[in-house]
Amino acid sequence: MKKNSFFAFCFAFIPGAGQMYLGMMKRGVSLMLAFSVISVAAGFLYLPILTVFLPVLWFFAFFDTFNIKAIPYEQRVAQDAFLFQLDGAFHRDWKALVQRRHTLIGGGCILLGFYLLYTSLLRPFLWKLSDYLPWLYDLLRAVPSLIVAVAIIALGIHLAFGGREISAPPQSGDDFVEYGGKRDE
């Protein structure tokens, strides 16, 4: 079923609508849902950093519409699937990721929780301090930036110096063969 190129172009401006217009309902719904969830989470959780992902998702949806339009209709319908499959393979991959990176994920959750507590409980009272103790107000206002800076420095130190295993030099009894150059000379 051939679709109008002008309408596909118009619907491509709304994440997921272009995919839905071209018959890929599951893919379109998952793109719309991802865009909406990120927007709502950024607004309600006071996490404006999440809005960085919105243009990426928008551009993906926009250009994905034209890639899908180039595929014949029968193949489109056969390939229609949710972007986030909840089948067994996804569950195994997610479980393996959590087992490998549980410390990093836990640290990220702790930092996110502290940030949310700061923005919802502490920040509303900071404006009252600005009249009485301006230096304390400025110090407390800089706490999130300070936490992010310390986390970035710690991550950089870990990546630069930690996390790699230092192997011991081979012993004389090991099966070590020294490279002797090209043998075909």
Residue spans of the domains in the chain: they are 5-84, 94-161
Average pLDDT over residues 88-110: 70
Comparing 52-56, 68-72, 161-165, the range with the smallest average pLDDT is 161-165
Would you say residue 125 has pLDDT above 60? yes
Check residue 167 and give its pLDDT. 53
Are the C-beta atoms of 64 and 17 separated by less than 8 Å?
Answer: no
What's the pLDDT tens digit per position in 63-91? 999 988 888 888 877 777 766 554 555 55
**4 versus 177: which is more confidently predicted?**
4
Q: Are 20 and 29 in contact (CB under 8 A)?
A: yes
Per-residue model confidence (pLDDT) at position 131: 73
Q: Does residue 56 carry a pLDDT above 90?
A: yes
DSSP class of residue 167 equals P
Q: What is the mean pLDDT of residues 170-177?
A: 59
| Rounded (5°) CA angle 106-108-112 | 120
The neighbour count for residue 15, using CB atoms within 10 Å, is 23
The predicted structure's pLDDT at residue 40: 86
Instruction: Give dist(CA 124, CA 107) in Å, integer.
Output: 25
List C-alpha distances in Å: 161 to 51, 134, 172. Answer: 32, 40, 29
Confidence of residue 168 (pLDDT cuts 50, 70, 90): low
What is the C-alpha to C-alpha distance for residues 91 and 160, in angstroms, rounded to an integer?
Answer: 32
Percent of the chain's residues with pLDDT above 70: 74
Q: What is the mean pLDDT of the chain?
A: 77
Q: What is the mean pLDDT of residues 165-179?
A: 58
Question: Is residue 128 over pLDDT 80?
Answer: no
- Which of 62-71, 117-126, 149-158 has the lowest average pLDDT? 117-126
pLDDT at 94: 66
Cα angle 14, 15, 17 (rounded to 5 degrees) comes to 65
* Cβ proximity of 12 and 62 under 8 Å: yes
Please give the sequence-ordered ranges of beta strands (E in DSSP) within the chain, or none if there are none.
none
